[in-house]
Amino acid sequence: MIFKTGEQDKYDMIFPRPAREEYKDAYYTLKEKYELGDLLEFYRSNKNGTSDIAIKNITGAERDEYMIKADENGITLSASDDEGYFRAFTSLRQLMLRDHGRVMFCDIHDKPQFVQRGFMLDISRCRKPKPEYIRTIIDILAGLKYNEFQLYMEDFCFKYSAYPQFTEGFDCLTPEDIKAIEGYCEDRFIELVPNQNGFGHMTSWLATDELKHLAVTEDTIDPLDPESLEVMDKIYGSLLPYFKSGRVHIGLDEATGLGKNQTEAACRERGKAAVFMEWLNKLSDLCEKKYGKSVMFWGDMIINNPECFSQMPENAIPVEWDYEDISAQLVDRRCRELAKTGHRFYVAPATTTWRSFTGRFETSEFNIRYMAELGQEHGAYGYLLTDWGDGGHPQNTVWSYVQIALAAQYSWNVGIKQHGGWRKPYFLHGAQDYMDEYVFGAKISRLLCDMGNYYTLEPEHIAVSTIVFNTVDMPLDENIKEDFYDITRIGDPCSFEDIICRMKRDLAKVEALELDELYKREIAVNVNMVILGAELAIGKMNGGVTKQKAEELHRLIDDIMKEHREVWLARNYEKGIETFLGVLKSRQDELAGFIKK
């Protein structure tokens, strides 16, 4: 009997699902015993063939394309280069792990939807991971057939030789670290791409005495001042030589100061888009001519000005990003416009974990799918899953794992074309099962997704955040912050009581699992942050908290602060932790006022 892709979920043997796969209900028994614990070692030990595995070179195959055939005669892997064979061994390892000493008869012909399949990790805003944890992330990416990894930088998270004073006195990544991380990526056929913002999001740089005179606003550097380009040259000169990649992501998103203060006259006379394009071209010329790297940049500053597309540098790659489910039609239009330019472009969904503690999983699942489908429809060159650290980066990266797996599936194989907003639950279930089997070693992924959906119980949904997070983030006597609703007018406390009940119930299930202790602690501390936010929300709705409740929450914050510090330091440098600890301490001090009453 032959089973084809999608016919029976129990025959989902490989994740991400291949482009084409067929299985027969028969098995080839392996003659040799294979060490399957480490993907790279499995590839290196067997890439020249064994008594079970024949290696066949084919010509004309695309990048990452491979074939696997298993029958009574053995296993044949076909590809045209080492990268293709690595993807083939990645799939073969899963087949071997599933059936313990035998491989199901199969005929697989596989290649990815997107040429570039990347993951971007924010290592800048507070949480600065140590190299050993970055390697853990790379191992996960390699198993999921990613071929690109970006480290996003806007803060002082790297030892910039041109500005040593900015990182004096604390640990962060060094040039030697970057070279070692790149070698680790290169061994696993992953391109490490530098990502250094250079327009908006420069608050830390512009707050220094040396550079504050270049600030248009607190976060935007002056594109009209020649010294700004000199500063960027020093930053690039400190960073780019340690990356072999021929590309650099220069950011340029959300330059909120453009058109204000010293740029107001130029933007009024020439238009904001024209001033932006001039800065883009200056940075592109610098990176290409001096450092041999073409640029990638976020497309939000020009996407509504298609008349400027013709001014894009020849080799520049715009990245279309959007993270909310209500924006699908806008993304469709933007991708259509980008496709017309003839430039290669990326689509970029997100994990949506920031400013939430445990994520907004339902939003992320939809975002990951529709960005892939629109990217497929409009011929996007790359797909980049982003993981941001806004709000002090209190969420541990474990909350992004299922999204990383799900995005791996959609970037490799978008699946059947579908209508409307239908989900592809088999992709989600495959992502959850993969993480449980190959990363966690326990059935936890569905619980993570459930806890990442607590925001659906909130009385109102807000963009790129949750009410619970905002309640922790703002003083107890404030109800409105930016676009945040007046919490005293949006419902009754039962919504937040339901959140507390759900989170405690799911956390008890996590605690009962045989799971790595550090993962348990990372999950628990973030769940307790959600519970804290829900309790504070109830207090705001009730006009305050009792002395007894204030004492209870004061102790909860003590526990959270202690545990947050310990699990943070297990994987990250200490610098940056003070930001969110400061938020918690402020709430604790406010609660002390209720205790004294």
C-alpha 149, offset from chain centre: 10
Give domain 2-110's CATH architecture.
Answer: 2-Layer Sandwich (3.30)
- pLDDT of 234: 98
- pLDDT tens, residue order, the chain (597 aa): 455 544 444 457 999 999 999 999 999 999 999 999 999 999 999 999 999 999 999 998 999 999 999 999 999 999 999 999 999 999 999 999 999 999 999 999 999 999 999 999 999 999 999 999 999 999 999 999 999 999 999 999 999 999 999 999 999 999 999 999 999 999 999 999 999 999 999 999 999 999 999 999 999 999 999 999 999 999 999 999 999 999 999 999 999 999 999 999 999 999 999 999 999 999 999 999 999 999 999 999 888 788 888 899 999 999 999 998 888 888 999 999 999 999 999 999 999 999 999 999 999 999 999 999 999 999 999 999 999 999 999 999 999 999 999 999 999 999 987 655 567 889 999 999 999 999 999 999 999 999 999 999 999 888 899 999 999 999 998 876 655 667 877 778 999 999 999 999 999 999 999 999 999 999 999 999 999 999 999 999 988 899 999 999 999 999 999 999 999 999 999 999 999 999 999 999 999 998 887
Tokens 């501390």 belong to which residue?
525
- pLDDT of 421: 55
Q: At a CB cut-off of 8 Å and minimum separation 6, what does 589 contact?
A: none
- pLDDT of 10: 47
298 HSE (CA, 13 A, CB side) = 21
Euclidean distance between the first and final Cα of the chain, in Å? 75
Give the Cα separation of 306 and 302 in Å (integer): 7
Give the Cα separation of 593 and 555 in Å (integer): 14
Q: By the 8 A CB rule, do 191 and 147 touch?
A: yes
- pLDDT of 481: 62
> What stretch of H or E contains 80?
none
Parallel, antiparallel, or unpaired: how do β-strands 220-221 and 215-217 relate? antiparallel
Q: By the 8 A CB rule, do 78 and 70 touch?
A: no
**Phi-psi region at 53: left, alpha or beta (left = phi > 0; alpha = psi -120 to 50):** beta
> What stretch of H or E contains 119?
strand 116-122
Q: How far is CA 409 from CA 88, 115, 373, in A?
A: 16, 14, 12
Q: What share of the chain is helix, strand, coil (3-state, %, to 5)?
A: 50, 15, 35
**pTM of this structure:** 0.97
Q: Which long-range contacts (CB under 8 A, 24 or more apart) does 507-516 make?
A: 507/451, 509/447, 510/444, 510/447, 513/442, 513/443, 513/444, 514/441, 514/442, 515/440, 515/441, 515/442, 515/444, 516/440, 516/441
Give the Cα separation of 59 and 220 in Å (integer): 50
Q: By the 8 A CB rule, do 566 and 451 touch?
A: no
Give the Cα separation of 569 and 361 in Å (integer): 26
**What stretches of 297-377 show up as alpha helix (H) in DSSP?**
328-341, 361-377
Give the Cα separation of 423 and 436 in Å (integer): 21
Q: By the 8 A CB rule, do 181 and 134 touch?
A: yes
Q: By the 8 A CB rule, do 317 and 345 touch?
A: yes
249-332-199 Cα angle (round to 5): 25
Q: Determine the 3-state secondary structure of 136 from DSSP.
A: helix
Sequence spans of domains, the chain: 2-110, 446-596
Give the Cα separation of 548 and 1 in Å (integer): 67
